[in-house]
Amino acid sequence: MTRRTEGQVGWLTAAVMGMLLLGPALALSVEGPWSGEAQASPVLAILKGALALQAQTQCFDDRRVRVAPTLFQDDEGDRSLGLRASAGVCRLEHDTRADFSQTSYLEGGLDVAVPVSELRIPQNLTGGLGAGLSISLARRAGLDLDADPDDPDAEFYDFNYGFLGLGVRLGYESNAVWDEHGVTAGAQVRWTDPIRSYLPSTVVTLEGVRPVRSEIREGLDVDRELYARLGLTGYWRLHVTGPLELGLDAGHFRSWGLDPALDQAGLNSGSYLAGEVGWRIARPMGGLSLDALFLGYAWGQQPTGVDETKAWTLGVEVGIP
């Protein structure tokens, strides 16, 4: 583990905050030709809400289970076999309005990254249930009966600023070595723009956190009291070419209502960066499927720890239908 320095904190926080502000800022400044996006079929599919909910809830199917045996390596060269796993379910309800269409959702999910040894890694174990509404920030252009449907300059929308998601969520979190646990409950605001895939999706979360178990607090002789936390997250999910996929995540959190000893220890704020390169395979293996190979790197601090950690991950993703 490495204790954060002021220089590291300033650089990492600046990088994370810049990424989080990039998407909404650019979406308002590049409206021009995108409102007349000529590829009508993908645009219409997006406005039906499915791709928006994939980006906003990270629920890509009605039901999904992924298990990835993984080799972790931290910044000191220590290695450990481990497991990355995720499971989720999502139920969507779409309306049929042409402008500002809405999609309501109920979703649940579990994401785990656990090394076999006591190796500390930046990833958290998280699980939760959520409900909310996704709103299309778009208005279709007036119908021109004389327009050529194959005209590349044809405008299908007066404006299109992506999707805004509003929701509530109840969750559970733990670090990878199982010595910090907490229950969370709060509200989320999400923004994403599947048309402009170069812009990150952004999530703002305000929640209350109740620690259930905390060796940090036991070591400092501090009670496990309820506190408030603001979280900012941005992420990209890109299909580059063929089977190659890229992912990039950044996050920053700040907490209030903590004991001064916890503030001094560094539990009141932190930032996180992670990237992953995947090679999609999708090869059947009896009742399972070999879905992908991936290489990832994560660096930073999660709310369940006071130290900044780093780790490489190398794994194989196996799908369970």
pLDDT digits (tens, 9 = 90+) for 47-98: 344 555 555 555 555 677 888 999 999 888 899 999 999 888 888 787 767 6
Q: Which of 54-63, 100-109, 198-207, 309-318 has the lowest mean pLDDT?
A: 54-63
pLDDT for 18: 62
Question: CA 29: distance to chain centroid?
Answer: 24
**Helix locations, 49-117, DSSP H:** 50-57
| Number of DSSP helices (H) and strands (E) in the chain, helices first | 6, 12
pLDDT for 4: 47
Cα(276)–Cα(248) distance, integer angstroms: 6
pLDDT for 25: 57
Which tens digit of pLDDT belongs to each residue from 261-314? 999 998 999 999 999 999 988 788 777 888 899 999 999 998 998 888 999 999
Q: Which of 74-78, 126-130, 157-161, 301-305 has the lowest mean pLDDT?
A: 157-161
What does the DSSP 8-state code read for residue 56?
H
Q: Is the per-residue pLDDT at 45 higher than 60?
A: no
Query: Considering only CA atoms, which of 136, 156, 145 is closest in space to residue 38?
Result: 156
Residues in the chain: 321
Query: Please, what is the average pLDDT of the chain?
Result: 80
218 φ/ψ angles, rounded to the nearest 5 degrees:
-65, -40
pLDDT for 96: 67
Ordered domains of the chain (ranges, CATH): 6-145+170-319 (2.40.230)
Task: Measure the CA angle with vertex 120, ends 279 and 107; round to 5°.
Answer: 60
Q: Is the per-residue pLDDT at 168 higher than 90?
A: yes
13 φ/ψ angles, rounded to the nearest 5 degrees:
-65, -45
- pLDDT band at residue 135 using 50, 70 and 90 as cut-offs: confident
Ramachandran region of residue 207, left (φ > 0), alpha (ψ -120 to 50) or beta? beta
Q: What is the pLDDT averaged over residues 31-52?
A: 42
pLDDT for 105: 86
- pLDDT band at residue 152 using 50, 70 and 90 as cut-offs: low
What percent of the chain is helix, strand and coil (3-state, nearest 5)?
15, 55, 30
pLDDT for 34: 41
Q: Which two tokens stand for residue 175?
A: 């670090």
Residues 6+ apart with CB under 8 A from 138: 47, 99, 100, 101, 157, 159, 160, 161
- Strand-strand pairing, 63-74 and 124-140: unpaired
160 φ/ψ angles, rounded to the nearest 5 degrees:
-155, 110
**Helix locations, the chain, DSSP H:** 6-27, 31-34, 40-47, 50-57, 215-220, 260-265
pLDDT for 219: 92
- Higher pLDDT: 138 or 216? It is 216
**Helix locations, 157-230, DSSP H:** 215-220
Cα(98)–Cα(72) distance, integer angstroms: 48
- pLDDT band at residue 153 using 50, 70 and 90 as cut-offs: low
In angstroms, the first-to-last Cα distance of the chain is 38
pLDDT for 226: 96
Percent of the chain with pLDDT over 70: 74
Residue 300 near residue 271 (C-beta atoms within 8 A): yes
Q: Which two tokens stand for residue 33?
A: 């030709």
Cα(31)–Cα(149) distance, integer angstroms: 21
